[in-house]
Amino acid sequence: MLPKKSIDKIVESTSDHSVDGLFFSKKILAWYRSQERPLPWRVLWAKHRDPWHIWVSEIMLQQTLIKSVIPVYERFLTQFPSWAALAQAPQEDVRLAVRGLGYYRRFDLLHKACRQLHFENKTLPTSHEAWLEMPGIGPYTAAAIASITLNLPHGVVDGNVERVFCRLLDIRTEPNLPALKKQFKKEMDDICHMGSPGDVNQAVMELGQTICTPSNPLCEKCPLQQICCAYSASSQALAPAAKTKQAPIDVKLRLEIIHADNRAELYLRPDDATFLKGTWGFPTYRLHGTSWRSDGKSTHGPSPANRKSIGSIKHSITKHRITADVLVSAARKSSKASPIRQMAFKDVEKNLVSNLDRKAWNLFLKANQSKN
């Protein structure tokens, strides 16, 4: 990372320059409208003009790849075709509907927002400011929804937008500096004011996803090549500089699969658990010094020392790099204070929200198959 003085100088010099907004708007809209991918939320918006379809997509796309979102998005809308339907659903049904996507708090907040609208007899927001007041809606999501569904001139700035502008202006530092983000936001707002803000926002993001990629950008296909300073200087590999990555935190866990007579037990994780709080899964233990303890206040007791290990799995949750040993044991008498569900093996997988539990379960099934 560059010294602060060098970064300040770069940001200061960059603030004196801007892209040609009219050229930018004309070129990128023409490109987008000829190349636009038929993503499910775009198809539904074009057909129904229902903001619910855009709202759901923007929540799901937070920190999540498009290819991972598409099957869950379609399944989710089949189950919850409107925000009113989601408002009346139990929280557990909502979590199961998005199982595997991670970052589950965003869906808890989506559920909360829908319940707020439904039970307070409100309608969907009709302004950017009103969207910002909704649970789980930050500046980026509010700008995206308002520009697409309300045609309001609010630009979005995500990693794709940052990379596009860094290359256009040949900025060779980290793209997510607060001062740069502020400048890029102004640039995007100005361009959105020229018309079709929803398409402009989606076009710039699509350009970053498909053409102006982090490595090996397809500059020969870029509609903005003519005004790209990095292309002119052959510095695409330098602009922007790589973001400083936060060092991962290694965590050791144990997951215990308790079973008998082709039935397994799922426990409700406590609200103070470090990982996956409030989800149904397998008893989870975390290494504290030299001893294993339940992750959060739980009554399923200390990690059994004499249970059989069937192997280990790896998983990541945000910055945590998890290695989890999977233990198996016979069903035992449990405290009534621990919510427990017993279910047939065939029903376990579809009731697991997290991929961490799903990986443990798949390991268990393979071990059972090899044993038989």
Q: Which long-range contacts (CB under 8 A, 24 or more apart) does 157-161 make?
A: 157/181, 157/184, 157/185, 157/188, 158/205, 158/208, 159/208, 160/204, 160/205, 160/207, 160/208, 160/209, 160/212, 161/188, 161/204, 161/205, 161/208
Neighbours of 34 (CB within 10 A): 8
Number of folded domains that form the chain: 2
Tell me, yes or no, whether 258 and 183 share the same domain.
no
pLDDT for 7 equals: 46
Do 223 and 162 reside in the same domain of the chain?
yes
- Whether residue 68 is found in the same domain as residue 172: yes
58 is catalytic: yes
CATH number, domain containing residue 288: 3.90.79.10
Which residues make Cβ contacts (< 8 Å) with residue 288, sequence separation at least 6? Answer: none
Going residue by residue through the chain (372 aa), what tens digit of pLDDT does each one get? 444 444 455 555 555 567 899 999 999 999 999 999 999 999 999 999 999 999 999 999 999 999 999 999 999 999 999 999 999 999 999 999 999 899 999 999 999 999 999 999 999 999 999 999 999 999 999 999 999 999 999 999 999 999 999 999 999 999 989 999 999 999 999 999 999 999 999 999 999 999 999 999 999 999 999 999 999 999 999 999 998 888 999 999 999 999 999 999 999 999 899 999 889 999 999 988 888 888 987 655 555 556 899 999 999 998 999 999 999 998 766 555 568 899 999 999 999 999 999 999 999 999 988 776
pLDDT of residue 297: 77
Same domain, 278 and 225: no
Q: What does the pLDDT read at residue 246?
A: 85
Q: Is the full-model pTM beyond 0.75?
A: yes
**Domain check: are 229 and 116 in the same one?**
yes
Please indicate, yes or no, whether residues 144 and 56 belong to a single structural domain of this protein: yes
Of the three residues 233, 259, 291, the one that is the final residue of a domain is 233
Catalytic pick among 58, 206, 256, 265:
58
**Is residue 238, in this structure, part of any structural domain at all?**
no
In this prediction, residue 5 carries a pLDDT of 43
Domain that holds residue 271: 249-371
In a shared domain, residues 104 and 10: yes
Look at residues 233, 260, 293 and tell me which one is the last residue of a structural domain.
233
